[in-house]
Amino acid sequence: MRGLAGKTAVVTGGAQGLGEAIVRRLSEEGCDVWLLDRSESGADTAQGIAAETGHPVRFERIDLADAGQIAALAERWKQDGVHPAVLVNNAAAFVFKGVEATSADWDRILDVNVKGTSALTGAVVPLMKAAGGGSIVNLSSVSGFVGQRQFATYNATKFALRGLTKCWAYDLAPDGIRVNAVCPGYIRTEAFEKSCELLGIDPAEEDARVSKLHMLGRQGRAEEVAGAVAFLASDDASFVTGSDLMVDGGLYGNLSNGRINGAVKSYSTASRGPPETAASRRSTTQKKLSPRLRRGGQLFTSTQACGTHFVIRPSSTHSTT
Ligand SMILES: NC(=O)c1ccc[n+]([C@@H]2O[C@H](COP(=O)([O-])OP(=O)(O)OC[C@H]3O[C@@H](n4cnc5c(N)ncnc54)[C@H](O)[C@@H]3O)[C@@H](O)[C@H]2O)c1
């Protein structure tokens, strides 16, 4: 990608998952990367990637929910003359609640996904301006476009990130700073394997099920999201700002998702018979799920603008998009 070599990049939540792949890709492109994470394991991740690529990767342990830590880090960067030209807001807290969400639930997710992201961006922007401009990439999701049952808290933050992206793109354009969102579909990371383990379901079976939701017939890979982030961070995207880049294998645009739980069937049979009831819809849905999945966790269906997909939500884990 053009224009990345030698630039300083900051990636939040880089200890694992998509963040780790983004750190690796930016490092491969020749960036000096700051890996920010609240998990101490970020130190090993940073060391490993630096050894692979030969470019510096520095780990900074930070909790994005703590505004004081962000301010202190920004002050240190200012003193040390660190001028990030790339900021990737990838870290996220995961809280999945509907209307029953408490004030504490909202604090937990908003403090990281919205307030923390905003505080870090606010702290980095003056340093980025001093670097002569740059690129900010926010990790939203397909969940930033659709409703998912019992996902209100998470999806609200992913919608918010898209809103912040567009407003910041407007505000920062005069300073030569572009701001874009990347919106992944299902990406197969460690979290997927862990979810399957916790649910007692076969990863291969679950992979086959969610793969069908994507036009490309498979889940994404972390490197594929990282490639999109690198593109938006680079000069190859010099005329791209305020945009949402779907990296979802066609999930969002996949009308055939509706076949899975009858949403499209309900529409197409409307003129030929009585409307589908909630009970008949539930029954169709349950029949189409394997018994294992029904046992594995609480089932939620989520009707999208043009389709439906399932989320299995046990008490202690999650499946995200
Ligand atoms: N994995 C997917 O399928 C998927 C799909 C769509 C969008 N996304 C988005 O991509 C991003 C990364 O997802 P992931 O699956 O790699 O998640 P993950 O849980 O594997 O990694 C998140 C990282 O963020 C760090 N983190 C969490 N809270 C933090 C805090 N308060 N301060 C600092 N670091 C913190 C964690 O320690 C972890 O290293 C998220 O924004 C997520 O919403 C993921």
How many of the other CB atoms lie within 10 Å of CB of 80? 8
For residues 203 and 84, membership in a common domain is answered with no
Q: Which of 154, 186, 252, 267 is catalytic?
A: 154
Nearest to 8 by CA among 33, 45, 35: 33
CA 37 to centroid of ligand 1, rounded, Å: 10
DSSP secondary structure, 258-299, as one string: GGGTTHHHHHHTTTTSSPPPHHHHHHHHHHHS-HHHHHHSEE
Residue 274 has a CB neighbour count (10 Å cut-off) of 8
Q: What is the number of domains present in the chain?
A: 2
Asked whether residue 61 falls in the same domain as residue 128, the answer is: yes
Alpha carbons 31 and 24: distance in angstroms, whole number: 10
- The better pLDDT of the pair 317, 223 is held by 223
pLDDT in the model for residue 26: 99
Instruction: Indicate the average pLDDT of the chain.
Output: 85
Asked if residue 31 belongs to a domain, the reply is yes
Tell me which of 119 and 304 has the higher pLDDT.
Answer: 119
Strand partners, 184: 247
Residues 123 and 199 in one domain: no
* CA distance linking residue 216 with residue 208, whole number of Å: 12
On whether residue 171 sits in a domain, the answer given is yes
Query: Within this chain, do residues 117 and 195 fall inside the same structural domain, yes or no?
Result: no
Instruction: Choose which residue among 90, 221, 246 to substitute to test ligand 1 binding: the one with the highest number of ligand atoms within 8 A of its C-beta.
Output: 90
50 with 178, same domain?
yes
Residue 154 annotated to the active site: yes
C-beta of residue 27 within 8 angstroms of C-beta of residue 88: no
Residues 259 and 229 in one domain: no
Count of H-run helices and E-run strands, the chain: 12, 9
| Together in a domain, 238 and 128 | yes
Query: Cα separation of 130 and 74, whole Å?
Result: 13
> Does residue 204 share a domain with residue 77?
no
Are 160 and 197 part of one and the same domain?
Answer: no
pLDDT tens sequence across 7-57 = 999 999 999 999 999 999 999 999 999 999 999 999 999 999 999 999 999
Residues with CB under 6 A from ligand 1: 12-13, 15-19, 37-39, 62-65, 90-93, 112, 116, 139, 141, 184, 186-187, 189, 191, 320-321
Residue 58 lies in a domain: yes
Domain annotation covers residue 2: no
Adjacency order of strands within the sheet including 134-139: 57-61, 32-37, 8-12, 86-89, 134-139, 177-184, 244-247
pTM value? Answer: 0.85
What count of other Cβ atoms lies within 10 Å of the Cβ of residue 305? 10
Do 55 and 105 lie in one domain? The reply is: yes
123 C-alpha to ligand 1 centroid (Å): 21
- Is residue 259 a part of any domain in this protein? yes
Ligand 1 atom closest to residue 189's alpha carbon, by position in its atom list: 1
Q: Are residues 26 and 85 in the same domain?
A: yes
Q: Which domain, by its residues, includes 209?
A: 191-214+254-311
Query: Which of 247, 263, 295 is at the close of a domain?
Result: 247
CATH number for the domain spanning 96: value is 3.40.50.720
* Residue whose C-alpha is closest to residue 120's, from 177, 54, 73: 73
Residue 282 lies in a domain: yes
- Is it the case that residue 86 has pLDDT exceeding 60? yes
